[in-house]
Structure formats: structure tokens, C-alpha cells
């Protein structure tokens, strides 16, 4: 912050000197006064560095992937089987959206044990409902997995990290795109706008 303040002062002095030089044609050819350009660039870089320091920490150490799979959920042993699809999956939980409303009492779902089955993967895991939301006028559940055995962990890791097209090669951005990223970092800090997109915590709450 001290360097940022000193750079801002340097920019103010250099910009004023440049404007004074342009106002006097006799002194205009002494130099182009480009030092204020570098001061502005350094001030921008320091501002981005300070914004990075304000970046919010992750609420969960696990990555949540947008994976849609047909799934069914059974609450308790005697309840009806609910069909839907997954919207987000991680190593510790899943977000499940209904295709049609069921007859369950949503007020009492939080904390209930469930059995989740991914139909295509033929993977069945036990879990607990940690959150109930409403998306598109239909209930959506956040299910936290119970302790998985080794075969379940391997199949879940293969689903999350070994899917075709999961890892794409990244190339360095061009100069114009890099400039756009710098400007975007200044006017749209990630710790404000992208907090929900970067971290999908498993919260325990009541409806």
C-alpha cells in the first residue's frame, strides 16, 4: 500500500509535468514525457495485486463440477423413490434436482439419511441431506456423502476427473486478451463477483 501511494504520487507529478510541457511549445521537444505512462501501468499492476490480497478463501477444499447425470434418491427405507438429475458433484457431496415434485415434506428433509444412485454409472452411495433449495419451482437437494469405501471412491474419482474432455490444454492469452483480463480484474474483482462460482460449499441449513 505504501508503494501504491508513492506510485500514485509519482503519476500525479509526472502527469502534471507532461501537461505543463505540452502547454509550452518551446519545451515540447525536450522529451515525450512517457514516464507517466509507466507510472500508470505500475499503479494498475499494484492495484490488481492489492485486489488479489482481498480474494476470499475457499469454503471447501474440494472442487465442484457441473456434471449432469440421471439419478434417483430414496429418503429412508419406506419413502418413495424420487427421480431427477445431478447438477453439481464433488468428492464429498452432490446437488440433486427433481424432475417433478414429490410428496415428501420439504420442511423435514434436512438431516434425513438418503440413498443416492447414479443410474448410468451404477453407483449407489449413502448420504445426508444438508440443504433444501427451490430451483425453477422444484425442490433441489444438497446431499453430503457418508464415508465411501474404496471402490466407491475410485468410481467417483473416475467420474469427476477422468471424463473425456475434462482437462483441456490451455494456451497463453494474446496481448489484447491479456489487456482485457487486466481491465476486467480492476472493474470486476473476483472476490466480489465470482465468489459463488469458485466455491460451492456444503452448508447445513434449514428451510
Q: What pTM was estimated for this model as a whole? A: 0.59
Report domain extents, the chain: 2-58+177-198, 70-161
What is the overall mean pLDDT for the chain?
77
pLDDT tens digits for 21-73?
665 655 554 545 677 778 888 888 888 888 777 766 666 788 888 888 999 88
pLDDT tens digits for 69-97?
999 888 876 667 888 899 999 999 999 98
**Which runs of E-coded beta strand occur in the chain?**
70-75, 81-89, 93-98, 113-118, 123-135, 138-145
Please state, in angstroms and rounded to a whole number, the distance separating the CA atoms of residues 8 and 92. Answer: 47
Q: Please choose, from the candidates 183, 201, 206, the residue with its C-alpha nearest in 3D space to the C-alpha of residue 40.
A: 183
Dihedral sign from CA coordinates of 45, 46, 52, 54:
negative
The helix/strand count (H/E) of the chain reads as 6, 6
CA 56 to chain CA centroid, Å, is 11
Which helix (H) or strand (E) element contains residue 51? helix 35-53
How many other CB atoms are found less than 10 A from the CB of residue 42?
Answer: 16
**Residue 144's pLDDT band (boundaries 50, 70, 90)?**
very high
- Name every residue whose Cβ is closer than 8 Å to that of residue 186 and which is 6 or more positions away in sequence: 44, 47, 48, 51
Q: Please choose, from the candidates 118, 11, 10, 28, the residue with its C-alpha nearest in 3D space to the C-alpha of residue 73.
A: 118
Instruction: Yes or no: say if 142 and 116 are a contact pair by the CB < 8 Å rule.
Output: no
Specify the residue for cell string 500514485. 8
Please state, in angstroms and rounded to a whole number, the distance separating the CA atoms of residues 158 and 180. Answer: 36
Please state, in angstroms and rounded to a whole number, the distance separating the CA atoms of residues 83 and 56. Answer: 36
Indicate the CATH number for domain 70-161: 2.40.10.220
pLDDT tens digits for 11-21?
888 777 777 66
- Name every residue whose Cβ is closer than 8 Å to that of residue 27 and which is 6 or more positions away in sequence: 21
Amino acid at each position: 500500500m505504501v508503494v501504491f501511494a508513492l506510485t500514485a504520487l509519482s503519476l500525479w507529478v509526472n502527469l502534471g509535468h507532461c501537461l505543463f510541457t505540452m502547454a509550452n511549445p518551446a519545451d515540447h521537444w525536450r522529451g515525450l514525457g512517457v514516464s507517466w505512462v509507466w507510472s500508470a501501468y505500475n499503479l494498475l499492476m499494484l492495484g490488481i495485486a492489492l485486489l488479489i490480497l482481498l480474494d476470499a478463501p475457499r469454503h471447501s477444499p474440494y472442487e465442484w463440477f457441473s456434471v449432469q447425470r440421471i439419478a434417483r434418491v430414496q429418503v429412508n427405507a419406506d419413502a418413495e423413490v424420487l427421480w431427477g438429475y445431478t447438477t453439481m458433484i464433488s468428492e464429498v457431496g452432490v446437488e440433486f434436482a427433481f424432475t417433478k415434485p414429490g410428496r415428501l415434506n420439504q420442511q423435514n428433509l434436512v438431516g434425513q439419511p438418503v440413498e443416492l444412485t447414479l443410474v448410468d454409472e451404477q453407483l449407489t452411495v449413502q448420504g445426508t441431506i444438508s440443504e433444501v433449495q427451490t430451483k425453477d419451482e422444484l425442490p433441489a437437494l444438497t446431499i453430503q456423502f457418508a464415508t465411501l469405501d474404496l471402490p466407491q471412491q475410485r468410481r467417483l474419482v473416475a467420474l469427476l476427473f477422468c471424463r473425456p474432455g475434462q482437462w483441456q490444454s490451455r494456451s497463453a492469452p494474446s496481448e489484447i486478451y491479456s489487456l482485457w483480463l487486466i481491465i476486467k480484474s480492476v472493474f470486476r474483482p473476483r472476490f466480489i463477483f465470482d465468489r459463488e462460482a469458485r466455491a460451492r460449499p456444503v452448508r447445513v441449513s434449514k428451510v
